[in-house]
C-alpha cells in the first residue's frame, strides 16, 4: 500500500469542489441560472436570494469586483476553527453580514461566525483548504 499516494490523492481531492473560474456578482445577477463549473467538472448553482442579499450589501458600482463564490479559507496555520476571507470586497461583504469592522483585503473569522456565514450564504460561499 502506497500511503503517500493515498494521502496525496486525498489532499488533491480536498479542493476539487472549487470553481475553475469565479464569476462576478454583476454577471451572476444577469444570468438566468447562475452557476460556476468546479474543478472536477461539476456545476455549482448559486441561489438567487443570496445574490440579491449580496447586491443589497454592496453599492452597484462594486458588483463587478465581488467574485463568487466567496472562499472561506481554512488553514491549519491559523489554528483550529479560524478561517480567512481573502479579497477586499469579499471581506467587506462578509464583514457587513457579521457586523464586523474590516480594513484591508483580509478578514479572519471564527467558527460561530462561519456558521452564520454558511447559513446565510450557503451557495455563494465555498470552503477552501489551504496549506
CB of 60 to another protein, least distance (A): 25
Among 22, 26, 29, 129, binds another protein (CB under 8 A): 129
In the complex with another protein, the residue whose CB is nearer, 9 or 30, is 9
Residues 60-79 as x/- pattern, contact with another protein by CB under 8 A:
--------------x-x---
Distance between CA 89 and CA 55 in Å, rounded? 12
Is the CA virtual torsion 53, 58, 61, 63 positive or negative? Answer: negative
Establish if 122 lies at the interface with another protein (CB under 8 A): yes
Cell of 63: 458588483
Distance between CA 97 and CA 50 in Å, rounded? 12
CB 97 within 8 A of CB 120: yes
Establish if 110 lies at the interface with another protein (CB under 8 A): no
Establish if 4 lies at the interface with another protein (CB under 8 A): yes
Among 20, 40, 52, 105, binds another protein (CB under 8 A): 40
The span of 9-17, 22-30, 53-61, 95-103 binding another protein (CB under 8 A) equals 9-17
In the complex with another protein, the residue whose CB is nearer, 81 or 108, is 81
Distance between CA 34 and CA 51 in Å, rounded? 9
Among 28, 87, 92, 126, binds another protein (CB under 8 A): 126
Give the chain's length.
131
Bridge pairing between strands 82-86 and 125-129 = unpaired
Cell of 121: 450564504
Amino acid at each position: 500500500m502506497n500511503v503517500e499516494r493515498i494521502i496525496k490523492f486525498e489532499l488533491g481531492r480536498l479542493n476539487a469542489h472549487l470553481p475553475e473560474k469565479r464569476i462576478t456578482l454583476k454577471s451572476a445577477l444577469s444570468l438566468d441560472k447562475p452557476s460556476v463549473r468546479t474543478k472536477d467538472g461539476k456545476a455549482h448553482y448559486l441561489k438567487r436570494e443570496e445574490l440579491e442579499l449580496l447586491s443589497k450589501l454592496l453599492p452597484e458600482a462594486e458588483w463587478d469586483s465581488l467574485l463568487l463564490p466567496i472562499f472561506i479559507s481554512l488553514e491549519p496555520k491559523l489554528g483550529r476553527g479560524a478561517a480567512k476571507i481573502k479579497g477586499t470586497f469579499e471581506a467587506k461583504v462578509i464583514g457587513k453580514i457579521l457586523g464586523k469592522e474590516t480594513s484591508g483585503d483580509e478578514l479572519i473569522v471564527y467558527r460561530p461566525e462561519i456558521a452564520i456565514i454558511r447559513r446565510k450564504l450557503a451557495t455563494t460561499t465555498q470552503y477552501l483548504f489551504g496549506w
